[in-house]
A and B are shown apart, each in its own frame.
Chain A
Amino acid sequence: MALSGIQIYKVLPQTNCKECGVATCLAFAMKLAARQAELSACPYVSDEAKAMLDTAAAPPIRLITLGAGDRKLEVGNETVVYRHEKTFVHQPGLFLRLPASLSDADFAAGVDKVAGYTVERVGQMLRTDGVAIEGASADAFAARVKQAVDKGLAVILLASDPAVIEAGLAAAGNTKPLIYAGAGADSAALAPLAKKYSASLTVGAAGDLEALAAATEKAVAAGAEDLVLDPGMTGWADALALPAQLRRAAIKKNFKQLGYPIIAFPGSLSDSAEEEAMLASLLIGKYAGLIVLDRFDQAVVYSLLALRQNIYTDPQKPIQVSPGLYEIGEPEPGSPLLVTTNFSLTYFSVAGEVEGSGRKAWLLVADSEGLSVLTAWAAGKFDAEAIAKAVKTTGVAEKINHKSIVLPGAVAGLSGELEEELPGWKVLVGPRESIGIPSYLKLLASQ
């Protein structure tokens, strides 16, 4: 269980010595509670406090690493059940399953497809993480694993014969592969292998959480540390229910035996690429750590990467809309130009009022880092300079035939400066509250 700032404060020295770099012991305690500071920064902390805080700080879901180099993938270490509580921190890995039956050429093409796929979205490069390689003979398996590892991909070894697995492990070198020996496999028996090659190991139990917990306990006893869970989903409802129970057990009950990331194979429960994509979407939204796809259509992968990017953002950031020029009701060159900030609720109320008025307008949304008009203005993020910049970067001047811009009434004080920033423009002061917009637009139209 996480401790509150006050609980931690009670065991700190309470001298406000500031040597940890924070103004007061309470502020330091609050940082510790939020995991934004290390206890070692306090030179005077007691052993008792240390012991208490170390226990509280252990992550309820173990962090598992796959792959190496710049494609190193980390999953697990999640601390919440619901996304609004705190960021989901480690995006689920997306893998393509490459069956043993593939020809060498098709296998190579599959590896290339995964290794070569990368797409930019809102400033981030998105890509898939690796391949799940099915093993038949030890030699062929080793060759294929090596091929994938050479391309920098993380690999999951889909094999049940320990000899084949070991060949794959050897070929993977120090790239931290994951062993997946099938839902019914005796994972404890594979634990020594996993340990020897610093690989992680999948533990499965078809639909039975008690059996799954027993199996992880056995695997740990046999020396394995980094485990991944395959709870054995037999249908779509299972694919929601089992991860939900695992997540709750790990986080709400701090049940270590089930505190590992989850692997899922949506393709085996789907009839088409689209269905597979939808099940994968459900799993991205709720609690999968590794998702192995059977099909690799670009449109599918792109939509999943976009969703993964969305879900794993910080929920504490204010909801924003993209800055830019918005058209409300097919505006014409003569329609008025209004400016506001990119905090979503601000945008919604302004756009909503303009829409509700039935009139056309250009709405210039300046980048205020998601703050509302007054807050952004207070913090220097919605000033004449920022508005002038938005006017220039959006090229709104080419779309309208006038040079008037309507400021929110709350920042009427900016009008003088804005006229200086935008020579030749006329600054009008709009209503202070968005509810005044319809009558204001009516007035503008009447002139």
Chain B
Amino acid sequence: MAVPEVKEKYAGRIQEVTLGAGSRGKTVAIGGESTLPFLHFEGTVANRPAIAIEVSDREPDDWSPLLKEAWGDVMGDPAKWAAKAEELGADVIALSLDSAHPERGNTGADDARKTVRKVLEATTLPLIVYGPGQKDKDNEVLVAAAEEAKGERIAIGNAEEKNYRTIVAAALANDQVVIAKSPMDVNLAKQLNVLIGDMGIPKDRIIMDPTTGALGYGVEYSYSVMERVRLAALGGDATLQQPMVLTVGYEAWRTKEARTNDEVPQEWGDWAQRAILWEANTAITLVNTGANLLVLRHPQSVALVRKAIDRLMAGA
């Protein structure tokens, strides 16, 4: 008895979004696939998932010692940090303008411009620029970043349901990409895409962030939300066809497993191996449900994820 045909014929395709232009030595395209992750037998996987390395504009005081060890003193200088990240295999630099947070330096638009300029000069890679996550400051520094990087096709974020107008307007005016972040729910993700789309920004300039749950801390929620997003998108729902970015490094390194080795059970095993695997396994599990861009922190997990993606793309 012949095996029944199980190839799906999807009506939709994921939108391709390109980061980087102008002075960028490299551009990175993400999305564009017409099937679920790496199912080369039934569709095309137009672009491999890309890896961004997270770089902060201020030396993080809450990062794990393992990360500090790995990066050393470049952590004090976003330009050097970005350059080293490029050397270690990043496709994209995710620059966090954390110092603009009112409680963490309260730097303003001018500082943001300077930092963005410096980092643009230090690397040939495309940029994501994140604000500090506080409404007014996000609006201030992301507008500045979008203007400063005009012509470079960077991504700015996060635009959220409660604060998207200014950020989207800045991306529109300066020809940048916007990251639309929603709280781990397929409906909310879609709603935000609709609201942002209603402002008139083209679809090839929206990346969605459906919120990351780390291994052991809700990765299964991300898994299922992303899978629903992806199935709807392939099924033809044009409002969910944006590529997805996941802040895996941030979430994985917040977990107890990665952050510390104090008073943990012996069964948890070697700290460094565990911490790096925590990031890498979170990343690969979410790549398996549709992640197109991963923001990571540790050089070793970057290497592991890169090699895994190489292997997964090998069947193409």
A48, chain B: closest CB distance, angstroms:
28
Give the contact stretch, choosing among B51-59, B78-86, B195-203, B284-292.
B284-292
Range of interface residues on A (Cβ < 8 Å): 35 or more
Contacts of B270 in A (CB 8 A): 297-299
Q: What residues on A are CB-neighbors of B101 within 8 Å?
A: 329, 358
Q: How far is the CA of A258 from the CA of B227 in the complex (A)?
A: 24
Cα distance A2–B247 in the bound complex, in angstroms = 38
Could you mark each residue 121-145 of chain A with 1 if its beta carbon is under 8 Å from any beta carbon of chain B, else 0? Answer: 1000000000000000000000000
Q: A298-B266, A330-B103 are in contact. List 5 more A-B contacts (CB 8 A).
A: A84-B227, A241-B41, A269-B311, A302-B269, A353-B162
**Closest partner residue, chain B, to A82 (CB atom):** B227
Q: Number of B residues contacting the other chain (C-beta, 8 Å)? A: 67
Encode contact with A along B300-316: 1 for CB under 8 Å, 0 otherwise. 00001101100111111
Which A residue sits closest to B307, measured CB to CB? A275
**B280 (CB) vs chain A CBs: closest residue:** A278
Cα-based distance from A273 to B134 in the complex (angstroms): 41
Closest to B268 in A: A302
Q: How far is the CA of A273 from the CA of B219 in the complex (A)?
A: 22
In the complex, per-residue mask of B126-164: 1 if CB is within 8 Å of any chain A CB, else 0: 000000011111000000000000000000000010110
- A257–B1 CB distance below 8 A: yes
A240-B38, A352-B160, A356-B133 known; A213 vs B268 contact (CB < 8 Å): no
- Inter-chain contact B3/A255, CB cutoff 8 Å: yes
The interface residues of chain A lying within 8 Å CB-to-CB of B253 are: none
Is B184's beta carbon under 8 Å from chain A?
Answer: yes
Partner of B277, one of A252, A279, A303, A353: A303
Verify B39–A249 contact, CB threshold 8 A. no
Stretch of A31-39, A171-179, A185-193, A230-238 on the interface side: A230-238
**Is the beta-carbon distance between A277 and B311 smaller than 8 angstroms?**
no
CA distance A65 to B188 in the complex (A): 41
Q: How far is the CA of A232 from the CA of B298 in the complex (A)?
A: 33
Q: Closest CB of chain B to A288's CB: distance in Å?
A: 12
Residues facing A in B16-61 (CB within 8 A) are 36-41
- Docked Cα-Cα span, A245 to B224, in Å, equals 19
Q: Does A47 interact with chain B (Cβ within 8 Å)?
A: no
CB A405 to nearest CB in B, in angstroms, measures 22
B132's nearest neighbour on chain A, judged by CB, is: A358
Decide if B267 touches A307 in the complex (CB within 8 Å): no
- Which residues on B sit within 8 Å (CB–CB) of A306? 215-216, 257
Cβ of A241: which chain B residues have Cβ within 8 Å of it? 38-41, 315
